[in-house]
Amino acid sequence: MVSSVTRTSGIAGNSASEANGLGKRIESSFVLNLLPLPANPLFGTDGIRGRVGELLSAPLALQIGFWAGIVLRNHATSLGPVILGQDSRNSSDMLAMALSAGLTAAGLEVWYLGLCPTPCVAYLTSISDAIGGVMISASHNPPEDNGIKVFAANGGKLPQLLQAEIEAGLRGKISTAATESNCGRHYSRFELISHYGEALRKPLHGDFNLEGMKIVLDLAWGAAVGLAPTVFTQMGAEVICLHNEADGDRINVNCGSTHLDILAATVQEHNADLGFAFDGDADRVLAVDNTGRQVNGDYILYLWGRHLQQKQQLPDNLIVSTVMANLGFEKAWKEIGGNLIRTAVGDQYVQAEMLRTGGMLGGEQSGHILCRHYAVTGDGLLTALHLAALVKEGGVSLAELVEQSFQTYPQLLRNVRVIDRDRRLGWKDCQPVQKAIALAEAAMGDSGRILVRASGTEPVIRVMVEAANAELANHWTNELVSKVQQHLMD
């Protein structure tokens, strides 16, 4: 368990009577002062996310903090702190302070970590007496976006029922009476991040190390800039870092897990063994092998799954992935006795299915990988360490491991920016688009697969076409993107 907070490190407060009166006034004001909110639900597949200054603002973050605090407090068996972390975006400081103000107004203690990966918040929440955690990040989104992710006391994503309660409070559908308790307190607990770093290394116990390996890390100007190089260096690897400063203007810009070209070139230039690219909050990772070839989440799941399968550590030989998982991956995994369950896109759906089935390994093609042997949520640093260990233990290069695994079906994914939220989320009601999808599915039959969906994290419609050959995939992708642009864009 994480040690209790040293009270003298906190921010000094008013007297007890003044704090009680202030608590009453603050709680009452939250009930009375409602903010204008969009008609559609605020919580998407990964918390509340949007453009700062449009959807996300300090007043909204203040109220989210308050209502999240009320809901977490009401469902807690005993009162503990809320752990708060953030990425490097310019808006993250503002949102962190507003959230902390709301949480303390709800009578809670806040342990503020500052800059850290999202899985750090989840881990520390799970091992302490915290009643929940909050991370401020928009993950792989551009710098002008931000987001608020709320974790339950077990470190997992907050259940949808509790998300709905928070949103009901924000919309004025429920109220809370003023309490007699003092306002909460805010404590800086930067030192707790080291507990997470130790937990990352612990599973790779004994005399194992990464000595002799040269590894390139693309840190995306984001949350892992301080921790990732330290952890890999402590494991004995020679580390080359890219985009390794906290920079809110450049987070995710032409780097990280959505832009692997610079990483691939650097791996080849330095004759490195492999490279890893993280997103802004380091809950996802993609790899590059020693030849510069990109290695996505499907390959990571297959390789890690086979490793666990061989050690008889994978119940029912089950991997949980999403509808985006490549058909080539699915067929190859089944050929070696594996089972694959697909869920909707979003790591919360993968995690829920893993808990339902008892699955121990799951994730997404985009690099969200969850291994319940070692973590309570998707963790980019943990995944990278284990993939590097797998390569060293195997005595062969990552390129050779990939060659021995499977061949992907050609799969094209195009994002069509649709700013209008109602049009984007209501795309299924657009008949011309539905007719185009039906035509494409009929034409490809069993030789292809189509997935169209509104992103839960960005203002885009995602169009994915997978086919037996690249020509078919390209043709039907262009057809569907054209229909979306014609009928859904402003």
Positions marked active-site = 139
Q: Calculate helix-pair angle for 58-75, 160-170, nearest 10 degrees.
A: 130
Give the separation between CA 229 and CA 232, rounded to whole angstroms: 5
Closest-CA residue to 65 (of 80, 88, 38, 84): 84
The alpha-helical segments, DSSP class H, found in 214-346 are: 227-234, 261-269, 297-310, 327-335
Give the separation between CA 56 and CA 74, rounded to whole angstroms: 25
Phi and psi torsions of 321, nearest 5°: -130, -160
Tokens describing residue 483: 């229909």
DSSP 201-240: HTTS-TT---TT-EEEEE-TTSTTTTHHHHHHHHTT-EEE
Give the separation between CA 166 and CA 186, rounded to whole angstroms: 21
Instruction: Give the position of tokens 């209501």.
Output: 426
DSSP 73-104: HHH-SS---EEEEE-S-TTHHHHHHHHHHHHH
Closest-CA residue to 125 (of 150, 160, 142, 102): 150
Give the separation between CA 284 and CA 199, rounded to whole angstroms: 17
Tokens describing residue 273: 């063994």
